[in-house]
């Protein structure tokens, strides 16, 4: 039976990295965005949907991408799924932001 990427209990692994850092401001913003999007008042999508979206990532993505980066990618997918923002709007806005920086 095929395991999903997140279903890791019991898989062979390596020593745990105990290094800790205070969350960066970037990470805090993503965390805050997620809390608000999944809050009862806003309810853009459920936390179950977030988990599912992360599980739909490739195994490669799952191991290589950072924790908050995975959240960000899932948030993007779910906002589009729910019709809150469109793919086109996101692409356009990223372009505009890049242009602003120059």
Partner 1 sequence: MVKLGPPEAHCRTPTYLRGTSGEVVELVGHYHNPSLLAFHKPGLPKVWLYRVRFKQTSIWDQYKGSERDCVMADLYEHWLMPTKEQ
Partner 2 sequence: MTNSNPHEHNHGHDHDHDHDNDHDHDHHPINADHEPESDDRYLEQALRELLDEKGVVTATQIAQQIDIQDSRTPALGAKVVAKAWTDPVFKQALLAKPLETINRTFDLTINTPLELVVLENTPELHNMVVCTLCSCYPRMLLGIPPAWYKSTEYRSRVVVDPRAVLEEFGTKIPTSTEIRVADSTADVRYLVLPLRPKGTALMTEAQLEALVTRDAMIGTAVPSIGSGLYLNGDG
Q: How many CB atoms lie within 10 A of CB 88?
A: 9
First and final CA of the chain: distance in angstroms?
50
Distance CA 34, CA 30 (A): 6
Q: Which residues bind partner 1 (CB under 8 A)?
A: 1-4, 7, 9-10, 45-46, 48-49, 51-52, 55, 81-82
Query: Among partner 2, partner 1, none, what does residue 3 contact (CB within 5–8 Å per kind)?
Result: partner 1
Q: Give the per-residue contact string, 41-80, with partner 2 (x = CB under 8 A; - = no).
A: xxxx-xxx--x--x--------x---x-x--x--xx--x-
Instruction: Report the residue number, 2 or 10, with the smaller CB distance to partner 2.
Output: 10
Using CB under 8 A as the criterion, which residues of the chain lie in contact with partner 2 when the complex forms? Answer: 6-21, 23, 25-26, 28-44, 46-48, 51, 54, 63, 67, 69, 72, 75-76, 79, 82-85, 89-90, 93-94, 97-98, 101
């Amino acid at each position: 039976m095929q395991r999903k990427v997140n279903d890791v209990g019991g898989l062979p692994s390596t020593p745990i990295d105990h290094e800790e850092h205070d969350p960066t401001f970037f990470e805090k913003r993503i965390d805050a965005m997620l809390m608000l999007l999944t809050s009862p008042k806003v309810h853009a999508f459920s936390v179950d949907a977030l988990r599912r979206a992360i599980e739909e990532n490739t195994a490669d993505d799952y191991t290589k991408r950072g924790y908050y980066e995975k959240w960000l990618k899932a948030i993007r997918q779910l906002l589009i799924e729910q019709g809150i923002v469109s793919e086109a709007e996101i692409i356009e806005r990223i372009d505009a932001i890049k242009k602003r920086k120059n």
